[in-house]
Amino acid sequence: MRTGKKTKWILSVVTSIILLLPTAALAESPPPSLEKSAVSKNPLVEQKVAATLWLKSAEGRALSYQAFNLAKMMFDKALAENEKHEKLAVIVDIDDTIIDTSGYTVDVIMGLEASGAAWTNWVQSQAATPLPGSVEFLNYVVEKGGDVFYVTNRLPDIKEATLKSLATLGFPQAEYGHLFIREQGMASSKESRRQEVAKNHKIALLMGDNLEDFSDLFAPVNVKSRAEAVDQAKDLFGTKFIVLPNPMYGDWEKAIVENKKDLSIEVTRELKIKALTGKD
């Protein structure tokens, strides 16, 4: 084979190989490496992948709209039945009830070390977005003469950032008197803060992604007791209690390990499998 023909043949083969390569192989910047993410090191983090994808799905979006559409119907009902003309209040949790924090979970999945400092930085970055329907509903409440109270277990170091976020995203009454954080030394229970609102208001609705956003009746002792507590309060769901979906995290996970802390990854995984299958 002469040199000229040989060169053309080599170029032809190389071109054919290149055309058969996946598109990603030709990209200038490769996608984030799975090997560098937390998923490859911790199976508990891997479990959050599908949960977070689901929450960001169209189904998750639809359920958010559904929750706030239902909330509007129930608030209108409370208005119509308010014969004593009491001041009505709607109490909402913040994280993954009215504000989407899945971006932080994505960062953790991709390798960010979860910590109080990392969470503070994420909140202060103002990267959060409102959940579908949340801003419109809460503004509707205020327009109709009601008050909105934000009861959250966010800590004092992000109080200012929280108020800024609420105001920037268009939520009403983003003021000190309407934001109840978890003060230093305060228990995670929100009951005392709910009672504070109840002093001057009739609570028409409570909205949250975690059962303890509604009542201490649902304190995370174990899976069975929480389920029994839900059965006892079944008439309140969809009427006074409206739950937003959150498969990423919550007291439901604490209940699986019976609120034990500092368990190893292996033990935690075993307890989750046990809860899933009902077998030891």
pLDDT one-digit tens code per residue, 74-84: 999 999 999 99
What is residue 216's predicted lDDT score, i.e. its pLDDT? Answer: 94
Instruction: Return the number of other C-beta atoms located less than 10 Å from residue 66's C-beta.
Output: 15
Assess whether pLDDT exceeds 90 at residue 25: no
To the nearest 10°, the Cα dihedral for 226, 259, 212, 69?
Answer: -80
Listed residue (18, 37, 49, 70) closest to 240, CA to CA: 70
To the nearest 10°, the Cα dihedral for 140, 150, 152, 216?
Answer: -90
Phi-psi region of 159 (alpha: psi -120 to 50; beta: other; left: phi over 0): alpha
Q: Confidence class of residue 272 from pLDDT cuts 50, 70 and 90?
A: confident
Name the percent of the chain lying above pLDDT 70. Answer: 85
Handedness of CA 264, 104, 154, 228 (dihedral sign): negative
Task: Round the CA-based radius of gyration of the chain to a whole number and report it.
Answer: 25
pLDDT one-digit tens code per residue, 44-95: 888 899 999 999 999 999 999 999 999 999 999 999 999 999 999 999 999 9
- Residue 25's H or E segment, with its range, is helix 23-26
Pairwise CA distance, residues 239 & 56, whole Å = 26
Give the start-end residues of each E strand in the chain: 88-92, 99-100, 129-130, 147-151, 179-180, 202-208, 241-243
What does pTM read for this prediction? 0.84
| Residue pair 81/258 in contact by the 8 Å Cβ criterion | no
